[in-house]
């Protein structure tokens, strides 16, 4: 039975399809490549990584998964890596390395945890040079026996946040070059770095493309219409609901951009209607479910799209991005890039800087799943998100 888990990573029987991407990534890993997995948010990137973790563990490849989306700085990033290393150091090899290295003084405490590995506590001084602890990781990774896969989620989000701090550009450069060195010359360790915002976009703006050129890039998109229909049918069967083919087709067409999250949202509303009426949902029920999703009581499903811009871009870029999205929402066919540039006229007086900022923000919004560029016109990628935007945001 496949459960309808909304907004959280899924695994096991709840994971659906993605066989082609799973095979592509596993082939790249088997060839000795590191992988940069890029996908718009809510497409199922983290679920795919968890699925890969399941498969690799089944084949004897040890793996760790780290989510760095909430890491405030380099020190927090390094701390997350240590935390996961501690869980897999059952033999104590890494623990012994840390004990013998004088640089361990950069840490507050190091202790062995029976049946677990080790645990590290960092000093409370947030301004302390993160590289002292980071340098220790080189020796730690060298002591790992057997093949390992390190999966680090939301690296681009972390990098973008880092760029907004004091001396941000230099900090990003130092961090990315350290992270690249960490990936080098260790044939028993491979990496998947993943994110919604394009790391290539962030590094290109800072002229740091060389820091990520060891990655093979894999892009993950929404389901095809055919797979989306199969997904809905399987959900319905798991919940003992019979959907006619025209109803399934209408669900997919109504959503427009059939990523798992939106399919799950609509199905959840359909299931509620089914429980109320006892009747199999039809096309009219699909339309009603769609409208229910856009009601004020369900705005929590979409408000994160607005808050995320502030969290990731900071001011004033978040306000610029919101203005560009307000403009794009007004026309279902989208608008030309020149319209966006004019929208920032008066806010950024220098024409070259204004154009550069516009292009940068459009790249971010496209990579992050807000907009899509079709023949030079930028439109909302998701009709459902656009309808929400028109009702809650656009003037």
Q: What is the pLDDT of residue 208?
A: 86
Residue 104 has pLDDT above 80, yes or no: no
**Span 373-383, mean pLDDT?**
93
**Span 177-189, mean pLDDT?**
91
**Residue range 240-288, pLDDT digits in tens:** 999 999 999 999 999 999 999 999 999 999 999 999 988 889 999 999 9
Nearest to 200 by CA among 181, 219, 186: 219
Q: What is the pLDDT of residue 56?
A: 82
**Residue range 60-77, pLDDT digits in tens:** 778 899 999 999 999 889
**Residue range 114-158, pLDDT digits in tens:** 666 787 777 766 545 677 788 888 888 888 888 899 999 999 989
* Cα 172 to Cα 208: distance, rounded to the nearest angstrom: 9
Percent over 90 (pLDDT), the chain = 55
First to last CA, the chain: 44
DSSP 7: S
- E strands, the chain, in order: 34-38, 62-67, 107-113, 117-122, 148-153, 189-195, 215-219, 335-336, 371-374, 377-380
Which helix H or strand E contains 186, and what residues bound it? none
**Residue range 28-58, pLDDT digits in tens:** 999 999 999 999 888 999 999 999 988 887 7
Q: What is the pLDDT of residue 176?
A: 94
On average, the pLDDT of the chain sits at 89
Three-class SS string for 241-268? CCCCHHHHHHHHHHHCCCCHHHHHHHHH
The residue with greater pLDDT, 367 or 237, is 237
* Cα 39 to Cα 219: distance, rounded to the nearest angstrom: 6
Whether the CA torsion 320, 372, 72, 69 is positive or negative: it is: positive
Whether the Cβ atoms of residue 211 and residue 183 lie closer than 8 Å to each other: no
The full set of domains in the chain, from first to last, is 18-219 (3.40.50.300), 225-293 (1.10.8), 301-392 (1.10.10.10)
Residue 2 has pLDDT above 70, yes or no: yes
- Note if the pTM is more than 0.85: yes
**Span 90-101, mean pLDDT?**
80
Whether the Cβ atoms of residue 40 and residue 258 lie closer than 8 Å to each other: no
Q: What is the pLDDT of residue 77?
A: 93
Whether the CA torsion 330, 335, 341, 342 is positive or negative: it is: negative
**Span 308-323, mean pLDDT?**
90
What distances in angstroms separate CA 10 from CA 116, 154, 242, 266, 307, one per listed residue?
25, 17, 24, 18, 24
């Amino acid at each position: 039975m496949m459960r309808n888990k909304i907004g959280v990573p899924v695994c096991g029987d709840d994971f659906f399809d993605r066989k082609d991407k799973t095979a592509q990534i596993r082939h790249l890993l088997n060839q000795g490549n590191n992988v940069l997995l890029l996908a718009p948010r809510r497409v199922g990137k983290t679920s795919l990584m968890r699925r890969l973790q399941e498969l690799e563990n089944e084949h004897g490849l040890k793996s760790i998964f780290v989510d760095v989306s909430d890491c405030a700085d380099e020190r927090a990033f390094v701390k997350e890596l240590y935390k996961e290393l501690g869980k897999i150091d059952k033999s104590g090899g890494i623990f012994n390395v840390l004990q013998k290295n004088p640089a361990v003084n950069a840490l507050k405490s190091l202790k062995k945890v029976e049946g677990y590995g080790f645990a590290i506590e960092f000093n409370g001084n947030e301004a302390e040079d993160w590289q002292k602890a980071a340098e220790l990781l080189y020796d730690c990774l060298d002591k790992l026996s057997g093949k390992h896969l390190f999966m680090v989620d939301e690296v681009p989000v972390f990098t973008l946040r880092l760029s907004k701090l004091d001396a941000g550009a230099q900090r990003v450069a130092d961090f990315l070059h350290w992270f690249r060195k960490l990936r080098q010359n260790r044939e028993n360790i491979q990496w998947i770095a993943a994110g919604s915002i394009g790391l290539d976009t962030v590094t290109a703006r800072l002229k740091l493309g060389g820091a990520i050129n060891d990655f093979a890039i894999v892009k993950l998109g929404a389901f095809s219409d055919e797979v989306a229909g199969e997904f809905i049918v399987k959900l319905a069967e798991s919940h003992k609901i019979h959907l006619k083919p025209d109803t399934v087709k209408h669900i997919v067409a109504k959503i427009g951009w059939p990523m798992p999250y939106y399919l799950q949202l609509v199905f959840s509303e359909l299931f509620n209607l089914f429980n109320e009426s006892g009747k199999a949902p039809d096309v009219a029920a699909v339309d009603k479910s769609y409208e229910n999703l856009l009601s004020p009581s369900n705005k929590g499903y979409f408000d994160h799209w607005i808050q995320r811009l502030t969290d990731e871009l900071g001011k004033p870029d978040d306000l610029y991005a919101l203005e560009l999205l307000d403009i794009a929402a007004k026309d279902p066919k989208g608008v030309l890039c020149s319209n966006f540039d004019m929208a920032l006229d008066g806010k950024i007086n220098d024409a070259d800087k204004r154009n550069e900022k516009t292009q940068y923000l459009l790249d971010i919004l496209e990579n992050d799943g807000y907009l899509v560029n079709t023949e030079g016109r930028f439109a909302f990628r998701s009709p459902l998100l656009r309808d929400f935007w028109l009702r809650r945001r656009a003037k």
